[in-house]
Copies of this chain bind each other. A is one copy, B any other.
Amino acid sequence: MINVTIIEDDEDIRKSLAILVNGTAGFECINCYSDCESAIAEIESDPPDVILMDIGLPGMSGIEGMRIIKNKLPEIDILILTVHEDNQRVFEALCAGACGYLIKDTQPGKLLDAIQEVRCGGAPMSSKIARMVVNSFKINPHEELTNRETEVLSQLCKGKSYKMIADTLFISEETVRRHIKNIYKKLQVGSKSEAVAKALKERLVST
């Protein structure tokens, strides 16, 4: 038996979800909330296995609410159920600890599968979301950088100093300095830490 709690502000959707969950053997909806604040207040006294959660809620956002809930009860699996498929929200949700991310037009059967799946150690995602997530790993070399510059940038991302890079690449420290100056110009940054931050965030080099 999987105990489910629903957090969703739209009453129609909330009720439909509850009916779907309660109408299926092996699933039970033990609580419904229309906002995070009330969910947070009560959740510890009656913790579910899985939370189905909207993001666009009145008051505290689902993302923020998720952080708080995950902090209190880390073992709960939280499944996001929303209309938002924009990069920022998806990745914010995952960073905050969501275990899955479904868009609202998911078929009822698939939704139940997803709840099952998340309990079995999976991470159900809608197709488009899964592709976004997978694509976010892909290396994206900056096309202005030359091969040598990319090599140097990669060394920078290991936290190396000019001197260490020079020794690794068998060139003089001055040449390293030159490459780094060019990298800064092309990436429009002005320091090692800025360059490393940009390179890692935008996956300009293979880690």
Enumerate chain A interface residues (CB-CB to B < 8 A): 91, 94-100, 117, 120-125, 127-128, 130-131, 133-135, 137-139, 156-161, 189, 191-198, 200-201, 203, 206-207
* Least distance between A126 CB and chain B CB atoms (Å): 8
A-B contact list, 24 entries, CB within 8 Å: A91-B137, A94-B134, A94-B138, A96-B138, A97-B138, A98-B134, A121-B127, A121-B131, A122-B130, A123-B134, A124-B130, A125-B134, A133-B133, A133-B137, A156-B193, A157-B193, A158-B197, A159-B191, A159-B195, A159-B197, A159-B198, A193-B196, A200-B200, A200-B201
Q: Chain B residues near A127 (CB, 8 Å)?
A: 117, 120-123
Once the chains bind, are A194 and B138 in contact (CB under 8 Å)?
no
Once the chains bind, are B131 and A123 in contact (CB under 8 Å)?
yes
